[in-house]
């Protein structure tokens, strides 16, 4: 499904939301999200999905700017939006919050949403509209995931309509899309103080109007079938390029995307690949390019994912008889099987005001005895009163490869109280990843206070 946003160009794009939806589809594939203390869905920290699938998407040409919606689609958004009944997640203010009008600890609230029209033909468009309000800092983003009758998730990002509380997004239904009821599975609302809420249809947190019906001339609700997969060369040197071939077929709409991942001998690193259609219409060619320094040895094909033009997906893992035998022996002069290690994390200043946006500097000392550190990132978690507010932060490149400086931007109206570090993840140039949870000794006592 292609999503074309309407409204404020500064809001998150539909391509970003689609990427978040694809990340959910790859969740089991990557198996390396931040630990249990990781944040709510928005804003989410870059994961292996960004490092693996984003380059794949770029290679496949998934990066063009969306085209503006037609004027008639915009006029459809002027209809009244179906009202949302009181949500079970509505936050009851405590006396402390009532005494502090300058601290925003409440996520935005959904007042209603609908699709216009509520029934469309495959290949046509519908407009998602939502009324979203926030009590203090203002709504920052509205995004979600639509599930087709076959269960395939499709991401979208809604943008503010003028200065109103209405957020809209144009949804384009693919030709031969699955026929039946399409529903908003998740809807994530975030404000400018980083409070967010993830409304789940399965828990009754979204109204019945958060759905529409698709009628299809040739309904396709089945993902592509994997027929064969093999390597051009079963062994190679680090830094060289190899090719993996995938034969896939789809009975109706046709295969649209093919991608996959190899996992290292130590299980701490992954190499992703994207594919292009070859001369044979059913055989896809996928370039595999390992870094020059990595975990030397046998890399196993972990997973292959296929998607058709109706957005149905099929996933084939290591227990599949065609996937299991595919492994790649990689030799190199520089071998590194260990992930980076964070030995120290400090914050300056440790106390800030929420009267205005403020920056806290984060100093980390990181060691890697092989390929060298490639990136470092993390997330701060607000006090319990903040209902799960999260602040993602990244670190600047290090001049000496050991000392890294990051920046936590504490927004105006951020929740007052003690904030902690929810997680830190370190990635080296050999793709080895290490994640530190909130209870890890390195970060367990690293806090800052917002006053």
* Boundaries of every domain in the chain: 2-215, 225-335, 341-450
Q: Which run of H or E residues covers position 331?
A: strand 327-331
CA proximity to 1, closest of 140, 201, 251, 182: 182
Q: What is the largest CA-CA distance in the chain?
A: 69
Nearest of 3, 138, 120 to residue 62 by alpha carbon: 3
Please return the burial class of 16, using the count of CB atoms within 10 Å of its CB with bins 0-12, 13-18 and 19+: middle
Q: Are 87 and 205 in contact (CB under 8 A)?
A: yes
Nearest to 217 by CA among 147, 123, 151, 311: 123
CA 197 – CA 216 distance, rounded (Å): 34
The pLDDT score that the predictor gives to residue 81 is 57
pLDDT at 36: 41
3-state secondary structure of 95: helix
Q: What are phi and psi of 334, to 5 degrees?
A: -120, 115
> At a CB cut-off of 8 Å and minimum separation 6, what does 77 contact?
6, 116, 127, 129, 161, 166, 168
The whole-angstrom separation of Cα 119 and Cα 393 is 42
Residues paired with residue 219 on neighbouring β-strands, in sequence order: none
H or E stretch at 18 = helix 14-25
**CA-CA distances (angstroms) from residue 11 to 110, 138, 141?**
18, 13, 7
* pLDDT score recorded for residue 403: 98
**How would you classify the pairing of strands 211-215 and 180-191?**
antiparallel
Q: In angstroms, rounded to a whole number, what is the distance separating the alpha carbons of residues 142 and 157?
A: 6
Q: Looking at the domain that runs over 2-215, which CATH code has it been given?
A: 2.60.40.1930
pLDDT, position 262: 99
The fourth-level CATH superfamily of domain 341-450 is Macroglobulin (MG2) domain (2.60.40.1930)
Residue 430 burial by Cβ neighbours in a 10 Å radius (0-12, 13-18, 19+): buried
Q: What is the pLDDT along the chain (451 residues), one digit of tens a residue?
A: 444 343 443 444 444 555 555 555 444 444 444 444 344 444 444 444 444 444 444 434 444 443 443 444 444 444 545 555 545 444 444 444 455 788 999 999 999 999 999 999 999 999 999 999 999 999 999 999 999 998 888 999 999 999 999 999 999 999 999 999 999 999 999 999 999 999 999 999 999 999 999 999 899 999 999 999 999 999 999 999 999 999 999 999 999 999 999 999 999 999 999 999 988 989 999 999 999 999 999 999 999 999 999 999 999 999 999 999 999 999 999 999 999 999 999 999 999 999 999 999 999 999 999 999 999 999 999 998 887 899 999 999 999 999 999 999 999 999 999 999 999 999 999 999 999 999 999 999 999 999 9
3-state secondary structure (DSSP) of residue 143:
strand
CATH code for 225-335? 2.60.40.1930
User: Tokens standing for 202?
Assistant: 């399965």
Q: Would you say the CATH fold of 225-335 matches that of 2-215?
A: yes
Alpha-carbon distance of 55 to 261, in angstroms, equals 13
Tokens encoding 382: 């607000």
pTM comes to 0.76
Six token digits for residue 433: 């990843």
- DSSP string for 215-280: E-TT---S--EEEEEEES-SEEETT--EEEEEEEE-SSS-EEEEEEEEE-TTSSBEEEEEEEE-SS
């Amino acid at each position: 499904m292609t999503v074309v946003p309407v409204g404020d160009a500064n809001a998150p794009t539909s391509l970003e939301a689609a990427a978040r939806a694809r990340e959910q589809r790859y969740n089991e594939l990557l198996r390396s999200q931040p630990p249990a203390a990781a944040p709510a869905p928005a804003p989410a920290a870059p994961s292996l999905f960004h490092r693996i699938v984003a380059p794949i998407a770029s290679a496949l040409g998934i990066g063009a700017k969306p085209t503006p919606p037609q004027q008639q689609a915009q006029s459809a958004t002027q209809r009244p939006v179906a009202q949302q009944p009181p949500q079970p997640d509505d936050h009851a203010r405590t006396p402390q919050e009532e005494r502090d009008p300058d601290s925003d600890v409440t996520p935005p609230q959904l007042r209603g949403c609908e699709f216009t029209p509520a029934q469309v033909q495959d290949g046509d468009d519908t407009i998602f509209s939502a009324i979203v309000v926030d009590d203090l800092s203002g709504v920052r983003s509205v995004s979600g995931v639509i599930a087709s009758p076959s269960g395939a998730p499709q991401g979208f990002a809604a943008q503010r309509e003028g200065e109103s509380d209405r957020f809209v997004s144009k949804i384009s239904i693919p030709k031969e899309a699955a026929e039946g009821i399409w529903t908003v599975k998740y809807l994530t609302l975030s404000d400018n103080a980083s409070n967010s809420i993830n409304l789940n249809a399965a828990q009754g947190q979204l109204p019945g109007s958060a759905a529409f019906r698709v009628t299809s001339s040739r309904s396709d609700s089945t993902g592509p079938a994997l027929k064969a997969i093999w390597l051009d060369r079963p062994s190679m040197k680090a830094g060289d390029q190899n090719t993996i071939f995938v034969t896939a077929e789809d009975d109706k709409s046709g295969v649209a995307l093919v991608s996959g991942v190899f996992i290292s001998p130590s299980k701490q690193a992954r190499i992703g690949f994207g594919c292009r259609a070859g001369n044979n219409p059913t055989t896809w060619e996928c370039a595999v390019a390992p870094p020059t320094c990595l975990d030397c040895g046998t890399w196993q094909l972990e997973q292959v994912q296929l998607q058709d033009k109706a957005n149905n997906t099929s996933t084939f893992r290591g227990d599949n008889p065609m996937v299991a035998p595919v492994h790649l022996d990689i030799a190199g002069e520089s071998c590194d099987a260990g992930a980076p290690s964070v030995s120290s994390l400090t914050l300056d200043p440790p106390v800030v005001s929420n009267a205005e946006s403020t920056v806290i500097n984060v100093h980390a000392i990181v060691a890697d005895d092989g390929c060298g550190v490639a990136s470092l990132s993390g997330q701060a978690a607000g006090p319990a009163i903040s209902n799960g507010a999260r602040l993602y932060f990244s670190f600047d490149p290090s001049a000496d490869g050991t000392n890294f400086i990051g920046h936590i931007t504490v927004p105006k109206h951020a929740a007052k109280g003690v904030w902690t570090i929810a997680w830190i993840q370190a990635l080296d140039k050999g793709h080895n990843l290490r994640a530190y949870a909130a209870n890890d000794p390195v970060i367990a006592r690293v806090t800052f206070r917002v006053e």
